[in-house]
A and B are shown apart, each in its own frame.
Chain A
Amino acid sequence: MNTLRSIFLVAGKDLRSEIRSGRNIITVLFFALVVLIIFHFAFDLADVDFTTVGPGLIWVAISFAGILSLQSSFAREGDRDGLSGLLLSCADPTAIYLGKAFSALVSLLVAEAFFLPAAALLFNTDLRPVMVPLATVVVIHTAGYVAVGTLFSAMTLKVRRGHLLLPVLQLTVTIPLLMSAVKATSGVLVTGTLAGAGIWLRVGIVYDIIFLVAASLLFEPLIED
């Protein structure tokens, strides 16, 4: 299928460049860790139970650090107008969006795969028993974050000083996703099973579907000019 091929070509191109430099993932990872350390000293969390503050901490760190990842997603096309090149390649714009979103998702997930164990270590907690349910929650909520973020990334690339606007757009629209992520993570940490996430898992999935569909449809009108 042609569209599927385009998606993987776009995603493959971004991921190859990411693997070669690793700059994006490393920047995101270290920014997330810095946020964690700042929180630790802002609220003196040394003796606090991780299940109460941990979910909020890690999702705030991921939300903030994820902005950097989104900024670079389309910014890498910005320097020499690579986006026009992509559009000239006759690939379906929806496929370009999906490819971009997929590569952004993979890089953010890789950063999280290093970040979560580091966070567990810093807060003296063991996440290994809840690894599978936690990973499920993380993947579902990161997907929604990236689905809407990739659209905003393309939008803010096109406007002057758009990098100022991206965090405001992204963090405002993902408020319900953050709430869902925190509640789901906290449910998983307390009960140790995926069932503990309860309704929030569904909130995350519904958010993913709504914004993936909406962004796929809106990407074409967004980038044409």
Chain B
Amino acid sequence: MKNFPALVLIGIISVMMIAVLAAVFGDTVVFSFSSYVPTESSMGIVQRIFYFHVPSALTAFLAFFVAFVASIGYITTRRLIWDNVALASVEIGVIFCTIVIITGPLWARPVWGSWWPWDPRLTTTLILWLLYIVYLLLRTYSENREQQARFCAVLGIIAFLDVPIVYFSVRWWRGVHPMVFGSGGGGIAPRMSHAFLGALFTFFLLYGLLLVQRARLAYMEDEFEELLASEHETGQA
């Protein structure tokens, strides 16, 4: 069992995910016992998407930040392992971004009355999603492995620098997003924050697991290519 720690982690994450689901959706059709979280008074049941929407968004931002750091790591050290981490992180970030973009409109439709109200954070996430899709696209264009890593590291840095500018531009352009936390936010009930933090922790763990697994796979792919190349050379000689 070479991959025993990963299996244990998968087990822990599965249990936590079920616990979070039960805490949030206990009283709905999914299960049928009373849920841990209270129902939000004005938005009703649809508010509970928040427990998955916000952790997904934070995980996506974390993933892109890790990709930014890994890109700087590659530029300064030129070790392909950094590129493996950057690729893994961007791929996972794009998945979580996709979840945000899907769950956002599901919530916005009943609460704000339109699927896509061009809310600053949702729009920022959409542009972020586009930026990192372009990053993945760039990977497919490059001619050799080393160049691919170099170009992607450059874009990984540029894209991340773009994020705060995008956020503030979209916000100053027009703004209606609910501020749950921070100044001006309404704050939430203690039970809500327990469920939220539980979900957030689970999502971060899931991200960590996926990151390690995906980066390892990318690393092994590189090793394999190298082996093939050296095999080819000996075959020639």
Contact = CB atoms under 8 A, between A and B. Distances in A.
Contacts of B151: 155, 158-159, 222
Contacts of A179: 169-170, 173
Contact of A180 (B137, B142, B169): B169
9 contacts: A155-B154, A159-B147, A175-B169, A176-B169, A180-B169, A214-B157, A215-B158, A221-B154, A222-B154
Nearest to A178: B169
Given A160-B141, A165-B138, A203-B168, A151 B154 contact: yes
B138 A169 contact: yes
Given A159-B142, A168-B134, A214 B150 contact: no
A221 to B, nearest CB: 5
Nearest to B160: A214
Contacts of A159: 138, 141-143, 147, 151
B9 interface: no
Interface residues of B, number: 29
Nearest to A175: B127
A91 to B, nearest CB: 20
Given A176-B166, A222-B151, A225-B146, A148 B173 contact: no
Across the A-B interface, give the 3 residue pairs with the lowest CB-CB distance, nearest first: A176-B169, A176-B165, A159-B141
B111 interface: no
Interface string A45-65: 000000000000000000000
A218 B130 contact: no
Interface of B, helix, strand, loop or mixed by DSSP: helix
B75 A158 contact: no
B120 to A, nearest CB: 11
A158 B147 contact: yes
Contact of A172 (B134, B142, B150, B173): B134
Contacts of B170: 176, 179
A190 interface: no
B153 to A, nearest CB: 8
B173 A173 contact: no
A207 interface: yes
Nearest to A223: B150
Nearest to A218: B154
Interface string A179-201: 11001000000000000000110
Given A160-B141, A179-B173, A172 B147 contact: no
Interface in B21-65: none
Interface of A: 148, 151, 155, 158-162, 164-165, 168-169, 172-173, 175-177, 179-180, 183, 199-200, 203, 206-207, 210-211, 214-215, 218, 221-222, 225
Q: B137, B151, B153 — which one has the most chain A CB atoms within 10 A of its CB? A: B151
B221 interface: no
Contacts of B143: 158-160
Contacts of A225: 146-147, 150
A69 B157 CA distance: 24
Contacts of A211: 158, 161
Interface string B129-153: 0110010011001110011001101
Contacts of A177: 165
Nearest to A180: B169
Q: A172, A210, A214 — which one has the most chain B CB atoms within 10 A of its CB? A: A172
A152 to B, nearest CB: 9
A85 B168 CA distance: 42
A42 to B, nearest CB: 21
Nearest to B78: A221
B226 interface: no
Contacts of B168: 203
B102 to A, nearest CB: 20
B158 A165 contact: no
Interface in B118-134: 127, 130-131, 134
Q: B131, B154, B155, B173 — which one has the most chain A CB atoms within 10 A of its CB? A: B154
Contact of A169 (B153, B155, B169, B173): B155
